[in-house]
Amino acid sequence: MVVQDLVRQYGRKGVKPSCLMKIDLQKAYDTVDWQFLQEMLEQLEFPQHFVNLVMQCVSTPMFSLMFNGSMHGFFKSKRGLRQDDPISPLLFVICMEYLSRLLHKMSDMPLFDFHPRCREIKLTHLCFADDLILCCKGEYPSILLLLKTFKLFSVSSGLKANQQKSSIYCHGMSDTEVQRVVDVSGFTRSNLPFKYLGVPICSKKISVAQCSHLAQIYVLPKSVLHDIGRICRAFLWSGQAYSQKPRNVAWDNTCCGKQFGGLGFRDIILWNTAAMGKYVWALTIKQDNVWIKWISSVYLKDGDWWEYKPPVAASWYWKQICKTKEHLKQFFTQSNFRGMTTYSVKQVYETIIGNKPRVHWDKVVWNRLNNPKHRFIGWLAMQPELEAVKSWLGMSTNSNNLTRLINQIGHSRWSKFKKQVYYAVLMAAVYLIWNCRNTSFWDNYVPTVNHTVNKVKQVVRGRIHAVMPKSVSKRDSEWFMSL
């Protein structure tokens, strides 16, 4: 969370220059210098008897080599900590404590300046085991001092940075300065996002692809999927994560593509099925990897995967993959999977949800010149469920008028820009009429027709001025300015 906050301003204008380095320690446990470790234990005032015992455990292991299935000789190691030793993580933390103290002392030097928002707590680094982050102001003297301090630590402890895997992230610095830092450090200049402790770190909202990582690796329990769906539905109609407010449109219809009358949301259950289908596909084409070999050895045993049924004693995870296969068999044959050179979650998901009848008004509602809230109310106004409600309430309305008007604009010989302007006016009128009805019902005030018409003109003109396409012809631009 701290690292996420550090990079939150990266990419924005008017922010102070910043520099963050993600350092990969080269063979961290294997390169710890024993003399350094002993001196650290002594300087931290551990009892000498305890220090001797620890160093005896660290320095006495012997190793042998295996050639052609037989052991040959013994030799002693000269440095490093054994990774399977229970005390090794604690000893490694003691080694990293030296870096923390060096950086703390360095931060008091006049040439060093802190990363933005780090001065108050004197934050110069974050360290979890061998995952190391260094940060400072994006100025060459501060960065150079930080690198020199880390080099002093490396020389003393034996822990060095892997230059090929270490990255530097800069913001607000000139390309010349950044290249100068890259040349001195040997690190790779990289861009956000990056992963720290397995979590994507970025300055903007994470993409769908980053969110989808978990669901593409694990079969999520149905209870979790239902909870996610319930939260999404509640937020759409009420703005809250948990709400019992009635839904105006069925969720299945909402999850359709915009061209089919929906909002383009994903059905989380079907999407998880499509994501897990890549394992079904990998087994079908017998992909060459360790997991496939394991499954073939433990479960399939040269059996026909397409007709395979999991045993009762199989793991829950394997049973869920088999259930996914049975679900996908309703839409794909074994030949379909074998014909896929690569697996596309998107294409499989679209096949599962099936084809829907295309609506004639999608370009009207989702016109880029429309105000976003006009789009949503316009989308609601076009839903067939609304017609059923009005019929049930006995409201005498004729929706064919709106459809006829949409068709008239669509079939005209006007330019694309003119059509988009008229569509924007139409959706603004739908929204403001709906808003006027709410005002009259809740506030006992009925806006006049002239007021509503002028409001439509004002809103549409302001919106189009803000998002005017660059490709508009001079003739269309003059026409719009004359309105």
Burial class (CB in 10 A: 0-12, 13-18, 19+), 211: exposed
Q: What number of residues does the chain have? A: 483
Nearest Cα neighbor of 332 from 295, 308, 310, 306 is 306
Q: Which is nearest to 209 in space by CA: 266, 259, 165?
A: 266
Of residues 378, 364, 306, 310, the one with CA closest to residue 335: 306
Closest CA to 123 of 107, 141, 99, 142: 107
Summary mean pLDDT of the chain: 86
Sequence-distant (6+) residues with CB within 8 A of 11 are 171, 192, 203, 204
- Yes or no: say if 277 and 324 are a contact pair by the CB < 8 Å rule: yes
Report the SS3 class of residue 288: coil
Q: Is the pLDDT of residue 411 over 70?
A: yes
- Please tell me which of 46-60, 198-212, 391-405 the model is most confident about, judged by mean pLDDT: 46-60
Tell me whether strands 167-171 and 188-189 are parallel, antiparallel or unpaired: parallel
Q: Which residues pair with 75 in a beta bridge?
A: 63
Unique residue bearing structure tokens 């660059």:
470
Looking at residue 207, what is its pLDDT?
63
Q: Which helix (H) or strand (E) segment is 63 a member of? A: strand 62-67
In the chain, the domains with their CATH numbers are: 2-30+88-201 (3.30.70.270), 216-353 (no CATH), 362-481 (no CATH)
- The encoded tokens of residue 325 equal 């296969």
Q: What is the pTM of this model?
A: 0.56
For residue 393, the model assigns a pLDDT of 44
Q: What is the pLDDT of residues 42-90, one digit of tens each?
A: 999 999 999 999 999 888 877 778 777 777 777 778 888 887 788 899 9
pLDDT at 392 over 60: no
Contact status, residue 248 vs residue 263, Cβ threshold 8 Å: no
- pLDDT tens, position by position, 211-249: 555 565 566 778 888 888 899 888 888 888 888 877 778
